[in-house]
DNA sequence: AGAAATAACTTGCATATACAAGTTAATCCG
DNA sequence: CGGATTAACTTGTATATGCAAGTTATTTCT
């Protein structure tokens, strides 16, 4: 079993390769469409998750959980959004360890303004993929995220 | 249509959100399994693509095309691999603009050594997802990458 | 109440990713 | 042949991502 066999086997089956490659291609398409409003796809996604919280507010822990994102990554991803004034971060009054991320009025406006651009990207991509494959992809991705998250939490499968 | 409606719509359907979230979860699992050999999943993926070229060599342009990756990203992703001595970069003799990326002997050894760890990750993940959903995901991701790449190249759908 | 453990983050460090602008080499064309 | 164009990268700048280690606040336990 030399390196060529190994490479053949891994390249033929690797889900990480495929998931990342597809994510790159899809992200580029959304980013292009969102360019006019000056927000990246990942940023709009974060704003969505914040907006859907009570009072358009989420704790960092909740956000990390929702996004399946390391909290340390979240800390930094929020920085440009805070600088842009679309979110504000404060400490919880009831538990001062907790940081609450809130959508500002500016943020609400920007998010509402993002929708038509997002729609355009979404329409373009589903047209490119085809309706059926797009739905299949969506379902497969959701299933993967859910089961992987569950597995991370379970003690026995870790490493 | 306020920001809340917008957030609901986008969160409910966004493929970018889902693709990136799933890619993160999957990547974490592969990275964990590959830890012992000191290579990340993305790096092993790159090495695979190089290994499968003639003489275990690829030009940067070929690599970027295969990986659906910006060539500027590729330049930097190759850096740590070069530093680690698993690849070597040289100029093509026939076209001195072209950079040829070659797997070194060390690289071949490391890649072969990665296989069992990769297998472990792959087995764990397919077990977590289930065989059928894992295959569906793989097919959906490949289809997405292929069609998106084709669309990027076609002149009319761009932006 | 006070020490120990835990929870929720932040920071340090390293890699991953992309667009725009710059560089070098090949090709095209008058 | 020589200027203009194109091709293949690299660099500058900024965001995205994760692990390990550090910080601050709460909880637990004696």
Average pLDDT per block of 10 residues along chain B, 159 residues long: 94 97 96 96 98 97 96 98 98 97 97 97 95 96 92 58
Give the per-residue pLDDT at A86: 97
Mean pLDDT taken over chain A: 94
B26-48: b or e for each residue (b if 16 or more CB lie within 10 Å)? bbbbbbbbbeebebbbbbbbbbb
Give the per-residue pLDDT at B155: 56
C-alpha closest to that of B151 among A114, A18, A130: A130
pLDDT tens digits, A27-49: 999 999 999 999 999 999 999 99
Structural domain B37-104, CATH architecture: Orthogonal Bundle (1.10)
Cross-sheet strand order for the sheet of B57-59: B57-59, B99-103, B87-91
Say whether the CB atom of B3 is under 7 angstroms from strand C: no
Tokens 């993160």, residue located: B24
Listed by start position, the domains of chain B span: 37-104, 112-153
Q: Report protein residues in contact with nucleic acid strand D, where contact means CB under 7 Å.
A: A 40, 42-43, 68-70, 72-73, 76-77, 80, 83, 95-97; B 20, 24, 27-28, 31-32, 59-61, 71-72, 74-76, 89, 92, 95, 97-99
Residue A92 in tokens: 């919880």
Give the DSSP H or E segment for A82.
helix A71-83
Whole-angstrom Cα Rg for chain A:
19
Q: Does A77 contact chain B (CB < 8 Å)?
A: no
> DSSP H helical segments within chain B, as ranges?
3-13, 15-34, 41-51, 60-67, 71-83, 105-129, 131-153
Report the 10 Å Cβ neighbour count for A50: 25
Nucleic strand C contact set for B 40-59 (CB, < 7 Å): 40, 42-43
- Residue–nucleotide distance: B47 CA to C30 C1' (Å): 46
Give the per-residue pLDDT at B136: 96
Q: What is the pLDDT along chain A (159 residues), one digit of tens a residue?
A: 799 999 999 999 999 999 999 999 999 999 999 999 999 999 999 999 999 999 999 999 999 999 999 999 999 999 999 999 999 999 999 999 999 999 999 999 999 999 999 999 999 999 999 999 999 999 999 999 999 988 877 754 433
CATH of domain A25-153: 1.10.10.10
Whole-number Å distance between alpha carbons of B78 and B69: 12
Give the per-residue pLDDT at A42: 97
Half-sphere exposure of B146 (CA within 13 A, CB side): 8
Q: Does B21 contact chain A (CB < 8 Å)?
A: yes
The DSSP symbol for A36 reads G
Give the per-residue pLDDT at A150: 85
Give the per-residue pLDDT at A48: 98
Q: Are B34 and B114 in contact (CB under 8 A)?
A: yes
- Cβ of B125 within 8 Å of Cβ of A112? The answer is no
Give the per-residue pLDDT at B158: 38
CA B13 remoteness from chain centre: 25
Give the per-residue pLDDT at B64: 97
Whole-number Å distance between alpha carbons of B59 and B44: 17
């Amino acid at each position: 079993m030399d390196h060529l066999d190994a490479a053949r086997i891994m390249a033929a089956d690797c889900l990480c390769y495929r998931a990342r490659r597809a994510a790159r291609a899809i992200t580029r398409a959304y980013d292009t469409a969102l360019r006019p409003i000056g927000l990246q796809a990942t940023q709009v996604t974060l704003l969505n998750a914040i907006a859907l919280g009570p009072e358009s507010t989420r704790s960092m822990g909740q956000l990390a959980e929702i996004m399946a994102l390391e909290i340390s990554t979240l800390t930094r991803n929020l920085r440009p959004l805070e600088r842009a004034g679309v979110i504000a971060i404060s400490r919880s009054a009831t538990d001062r360890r907790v940081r609450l991320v809130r959508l500002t009025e500016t943020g609400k406006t920007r998010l509402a303004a993002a929708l038509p651009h997002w729609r355009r990207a979404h329409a373009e991509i589903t047209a490119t993929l085809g309706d059926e494959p797009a739905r299949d992809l969506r379902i497969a991705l959701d299933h993967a995220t859910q089961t992987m998250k569950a597995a991370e939490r379970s003690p026995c499968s870790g490493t």
